[in-house]
Amino acid sequence: MIALVQRVRQAHVEVAGQTLGAIEQGLLVFVCAEPNDDDSHAARLVIKLLNLRLFADAAGKMNLSVQDVAGGLLIVSQFTLAADTRSGNRPGFTGAATPAVGRALYERVLALARAAHPVVAAGEFGADMQVHLVNDGPVTIPLKL
């Protein structure tokens, strides 16, 4: 799986003008499943998200996790993270899982996150979404599991 994690002060996702998910302080996570991913990849991603130390402690060092600061997770599917831009000007997306596999793994990530963390919001798989955020830092971390 590929993920792009952004530490945010707030974020929300809209579809057709309706807010589907919103968080205050926490992590906005864009998620892309790859063809060989399975439930174990989803589980590893959730564990990593909950334990990444991206928030400042009293000394100003990034030593606290989203759990430590009681932050939220806003998880949004984004197959374009698998873009191949090595040749030409039009990205290819063969590195992304099929829509059926991508949906199943995205839903698995959401289920695991919701079972382990009290504040988990989400976008809508496959929808045309507008994501609004205030990046904190800015802190943006790419993950490849």
Distances (CA, A) of 60 to 55, 67, 71, 74: 9, 17, 17, 24
Taking residues 116-130, report their average pLDDT.
Answer: 97
Q: Where in the chain are the domains? A: 2-144
Please pick, among 19, 80, 98, 130, the residue that the annotation labels catalytic. 80
Length of the chain: 145
pLDDT in tens, 35-93: 999 999 999 999 999 999 999 999 999 999 999 999 999 999 999 999 999 999 999 99
Q: Does domain 2-144 have CATH number 3.50.80.10?
A: yes
Of the residues 30, 55, 79, 125, only one is catalytic, namely 79
Q: For residue 144, what pLDDT is reported?
A: 93
Mean pLDDT estimate for the chain: 97
The answer to whether residue 79 is catalytic is yes
The pLDDT value given to residue 138: 96
> What confidence score (pLDDT) does residue 32 get?
98
Please tell me which residue in 25, 30, 78, 125 is annotated as part of the active site. 78
- The percentage of residues in the chain with a pLDDT greater than 90, rounded to a whole number, is 99
Residue 80 appears among annotated catalytic residues: yes
The reported pLDDT for the residue numbered 23 is: 98
pTM, rounded to two decimals: 0.96
